[in-house]
A and B are shown apart, each in its own frame.
Chain A
Amino acid sequence: MLIGFGARLGGGCTSGHGICGMASLSPGSLAMVAIFLLTGMATALVCRLLGI
């Protein structure tokens, strides 16, 4: 649910911002990729640490 809501609110996902946006050299997309990569890594690392 977070992914669906976030992708619409954020105007794109890994494919949209990550591939198409970055390849169009769109500064907004670059920032978005940095944000969801960092948040994703932090979340996944925390989950691993908690053993989920």
Chain B
Amino acid sequence: MAMNLLFTLLSGLLFGFGLAWATMIRPESVLNFLTFQDLGLLLVLGGAVGLNLLVFQLLPRLRARPLWGEQFESRPFQLDRQSLIGGVLFGLGWGLCGVCPGPALAGLATGQGEILLALAGILVGAGLHGLWAGRR
């Protein structure tokens, strides 16, 4: 259990460091990517997906269970009209401010007001979704 927590912490540390190193926590750099002025982030996305592709596809075949977990599980997701609308809303917000949830959390450490504000917005939006979904 303690091992689990330790590796969760280390994974988060690595992810946050990676996002910062890759300049993904800078909204300008994300907006430059979205407007085709600097496609460097494509390498970041490609590298992350490529590496994870290998790990996700190979590891469950090589090992019966994860090193620090009970079993391998796949990510449950069903594409439907709602999730499509969610994708569009997310894209709108992302294109407007150049911030997405992971980098916003990592960017907290920079103490930039812009990122704090965006993160506050994300929390409010997610909370509103909870209220809305709870009423249905």
Residues of A whose CB lies within 8 Å of any CB of B are 1-29, 31-32, 35-48
Q: Is B75 an interface residue (CB 8 A)?
A: yes
Report if A7-B49 is in contact (Cβ < 8 Å); known contacts: A1-B125, A36-B91: no
A6 to B101, CA, bound (A): 11
Chain B residues with CB under 8 Å of A9's CB are 82-83, 85-86, 89, 129
For residue B51, give the distance in angstroms from its CB to the closest CB of chain A: 8
20 contacts between A and B (CB under 8 A): A1-B128, A3-B97, A4-B121, A4-B126, A4-B127, A6-B85, A7-B100, A7-B122, A8-B129, A8-B130, A9-B83, A10-B83, A11-B77, A11-B78, A19-B49, A20-B56, A23-B48, A28-B77, A35-B84, A47-B96
In chain B, what residue has the closest Cβ to A36? B91
The answer to whether B122 and A4 touch across the interface, beta carbons within 8 angstroms, is yes
Q: Is B35 an interface residue (CB 8 A)?
A: yes
Given contacts A7-B100, A35-B91, A36-B90, 5 further A-B pairs with CB under 8 A are A4-B128, A6-B93, A9-B83, A28-B83, A48-B31
The answer to whether B129 and A5 touch across the interface, beta carbons within 8 angstroms, is yes
Partner of A24, one of B75, B95, B97: B75
Chain B residues with CB under 8 Å of A27's CB are 79
The answer to whether B129 and A2 touch across the interface, beta carbons within 8 angstroms, is no
Residues of B whose CB lies within 8 Å of any CB of A are 15, 31, 34-36, 45, 48-49, 52-53, 55-57, 74-75, 77-79, 82-102, 118, 121-130, 133
The answer to whether B77 and A29 touch across the interface, beta carbons within 8 angstroms, is yes
The answer to whether B126 and A40 touch across the interface, beta carbons within 8 angstroms, is no
Chain B residues with CB under 8 Å of A17's CB are 77
The answer to whether B88 and A3 touch across the interface, beta carbons within 8 angstroms, is no
Chain A residues with CB under 8 Å of B34's CB are 40-41, 43-45
